[in-house]
Structure 1
Amino acid sequence: MSDGGRGPERPASPGVDRTLTVLEQLVTAEEGLTLTALAKVTRIPLATCASIVYTLEHRGYATRKVIGRSHFWRPTLRLYGLASQLVRKVDLSQIAIAEMRALAEELGMPVHIGVLDGASVVYVAKAATPGFIQFDTYPGKVAPFDLTALGRAIAAHLPEDELAVLLPHLSAGQGPRAHGSSPEAFKKLLERVRTDGYAVEEEEEQAEISCLAAPCFNAEGRVAGSVGVTGFARDLVGDRRDAAARGVVHLSIVISRRLGCRPGALPSELDGSYDSAYRK
C-alpha cells in the first residue's frame, strides 16, 4: 500500500489515538480515575474507554483499585520500564546530527554536544564547517567544566549537592580574559546562565576563541548534556552572537524533546528561562 501524500490532518489510526489519549490522561492524573471520569475528560465513549483500559490492564500498563462499587484506574510502572530501556539506547552523539550540521552551516561555526564526566566536559559530537580554518575541537576532547560554555550550561542546572562536588575543581584558563574564579563568583555566573537560558565563555580557555551553549534535559527533567557553538571572539558579537544564542537554545530544546523531556518535567524557573531565551 502506498502511503501517498500527507493527506488530511487527522490521526492515521483513531483507535491508537484514543488509546494514547487514555494512557496520557491516566499518567497525568493526580489520582485514580473511574471509567466515567476518564470517558468524560478524554471525550471518548464510555464503552470504548472501558475496552481500552481493560486491554491496558491485560497488558500490564494499567491497574485498578476497587472501592465499593467503583473501580479507580491508574497506570503501572511498566511504562517506566519501557522508557528506561529507550533512554539507555539513546545516543546523545547521534540524536540531532542533521540539525547540528544545519546550524553549523547557517552560522559558519562548528557545533558540539558535550556531557559532564567528573569535573570535565567531554565533547561527544561535532558538526564541522568546511574551510581551511578548523578549530581544535573533536569528539573525545576533554576540557575543564568551568572553562567552557558547554560545561557551564550543564553546571547551572545540576542539583546543589552535585555542583558542590565540582566547585573545588575550578580551573585557571590560559586566555587573556581568564581570571581566578571563587566558588561564590562561579555560582553567581551560573545564576546568569539560568536567567539567559544559555552560557557564554569569552577568551578564557584560550585567546581569540569564544563559545555559547545551552543545556539539554532528559525525560526526568535532569540536565543530560549541552549543545554549543565555537567561534572566533571577533565573530561572536552583535547580531551573529544573537543568532548563535537563538540557534543553540532552539537546538537544545529539539534535543531535550527527543530525550523525552516535556515542559512540565522542568522546574518552573527553567521553563521561564528557556522561553525568554528562545524569544531573544
Structure 2
Amino acid sequence: MTAQDDVVRRPASPAVDRALTVLETLIGSDEGLTLTALSRTTGIPLATCASIVYTLEQRGYASRTIVGRSHFWRVTLRLYDLAAPLIRQEDLSEVAQPQLRALVDALGMPAHVGVLDGASVVYVGKVAPQGFIQFDTYPGKVSPFNLTALGRAIAAYLPDAELEPLLNQLTPGTGPKAKRPTARALRAQLAKVRQVGYALEAEEEQADIACVAAPFFDAEGRVVGSVGVTGFAHQLTGRKLTRAAELVVQQGKEVSAKLGF
C-alpha cells in the first residue's frame, strides 16, 4: 500500500466515520441493538457508541426501548425526512413508472430506478411482481455503485472528472464471483457497458442474485439515472439475459425520451 493509498483509505474525520458506522449498523439491524452489541458489531469502543446513540436520540434519529435493565436502540423514520427532499428533486420514479411496469410484466422480475449519490447508487423507484419471493430492494436503499448494475450503468457515462474520484471509493463484494475491486478493472467493465449499452452484475454483491440495467439521459445528454431488473442469477444468463438486456435498454431509451433526450 502506498502512502497515497493510506491517505485515501483513512477517513478525514474519524468521529464522523464512527457516527456513520453506528447509524448504518442500526439501520441494517432487524432488531434493536444494545450498546454492547453495537460496540461488538462495529468495533467501536462502548463509551464512544454511547455518546453517538445518545446524540442521535437527542436529534430524533434514534430511539430506545427498555426491557428490564437492557436498552435496545433503533433508528427512527426521521432519516426519511433527510432523503425525501432529494428523492422529490429527482422524482424519476414517477416518470419511469410505465417503463418499470413494462419490465415487470415482460420479465416477471422487480424493476428499479437508480440515481448516483457520491459513490453510492440510491434506489428511488421500484415496481415488483406479485408473489411470495421478494428481493431486498426498496426505494431509499443505498448500495456501492460498483457492485450494482444500476450504479455501473450510470458510472459508464460520467465525465472522467466525475468518475475519477469514485475510483478511490470501490467496495469489495461478498458474493462468490466477487473479485478485488481495482480502478483498472472497473474502467474495463465500464468500457464494456458503453459498448453493449447495458451493465450486468452477477453474484458479486451477494450469492445467487444478479441484475442488469441501462442508463437514461436528460435533455442535455447527461446521464441522470438508470433502469434495471433484479433476479436470481440463473434467470439472467444466455437467452434470458439477452432478452432482459434488450428490454432494459429499450426502457432506458424511453425514459430518456421523456426527459427530452
Provide the TM-score with structure 1 as the length reference. Answer: 0.61
Which aligned pairs between 1:16-35 and structure 2 lie closer than 5 A? none
**Following TM superposition, by how much is the alpha carbon of 1:101 offset from its aligned partner in structure 2, in angstroms?**
1.1
The equivalent residue for 1:174 is 174
**Following TM superposition, by how much is the alpha carbon of 1:172 offset from its aligned partner in structure 2, in angstroms?**
0.4
- SS class of match (2:175): coil
The equivalent residue for 2:194 is 194
The equivalent residue for 2:226 is 226
- SS class of match (1:132): coil
**Following TM superposition, by how much is the alpha carbon of 1:235 offset from its aligned partner in structure 2, in angstroms?**
1.1
Which aligned pairs between 1:1-280 and structure 2 lie closer than 5 A? 91-261=91-261
What do the CA deviations read for 1:45-71 (whole angstroms, capped 9, x no partner)? xxxxxxxxxxxxxxxxxxxxxxxxxxx
- SS class of match (1:121): strand
CA contact (8 A) 1:90 1:259 kept: no
What do the CA deviations read for 1:123-146 (whole angstroms, capped 9, x no partner)? 000010111000000000000000
The equivalent residue for 1:41 is none
**Matched residue type, 1:100:** L
**Following TM superposition, by how much is the alpha carbon of 1:188 offset from its aligned partner in structure 2, in angstroms?**
0.8
**Distance change >3 Å, CA 130–CA 186, structure 1 → 2:** same
CA contact (8 A) 1:147 1:171 kept: yes
Distance (whole Å) between structure 2 residues aligned to residue 240 and residue 103 of structure 1: 13
What do the CA deviations read for 1:1-45 (whole angstroms, capped 9, x no partner)? xxxxxxxxxxxxxxxxxxxxxxxxxxxxxxxxxxxxxxxxxxxxx
- SS class of match (2:235): coil
**Matched residue type, 1:239:** R
**Following TM superposition, by how much is the alpha carbon of 1:89 offset from its aligned partner in structure 2, in angstroms?**
7.5
CA contact (8 A) 2:99 2:251 kept: yes
Distance (whole Å) between structure 1 residues aligned to residue 209 and residue 142 of structure 2: 16
Provide the TM-score with structure 2 as the length reference. Answer: 0.65
**Following TM superposition, by how much is the alpha carbon of 1:148 offset from its aligned partner in structure 2, in angstroms?**
0.1
Distance (whole Å) between structure 2 residues aligned to residue 95 and residue 125 of structure 1: 10
List alignment gaps of at least 5 residues for structure 2. Answer: 1-87
Larger-Rg structure:
1
Name segments (4+ residues, structure 1) moved above 2 Å.
Answer: 88-91
Distance (whole Å) between structure 2 residues aligned to residue 201 and residue 176 of structure 1: 12
What do the CA deviations read for 1:76-129 (whole angstroms, capped 9, x no partner)? xxxxxxxxxxxx977211002122112112101010000000100000000101
What is the aligned residue count? 174
CA contact (8 A) 2:99 2:255 kept: no
List alignment gaps of at least 5 residues for structure 1. Answer: 1-87, 262-280
- SS class of match (1:123): strand
What do the CA deviations read for 1:187-234 (whole angstroms, capped 9, x no partner)? 011100000100000100000000000010001100000001000001
**Distance change >3 Å, CA 89–CA 137, structure 1 → 2:** closer
Distance (whole Å) between structure 2 residues aligned to residue 145 and residue 114 of structure 1: 10
**Distance change >3 Å, CA 126–CA 215, structure 1 → 2:** same
CA contact (8 A) 2:146 2:152 kept: yes
Distance (whole Å) between structure 1 residues aligned to residue 90 and residue 124 of structure 2: 13
Query: What is the alpha-carbon root mean square deviation over aligned residues?
Result: 1.2
- SS class of match (1:225): strand
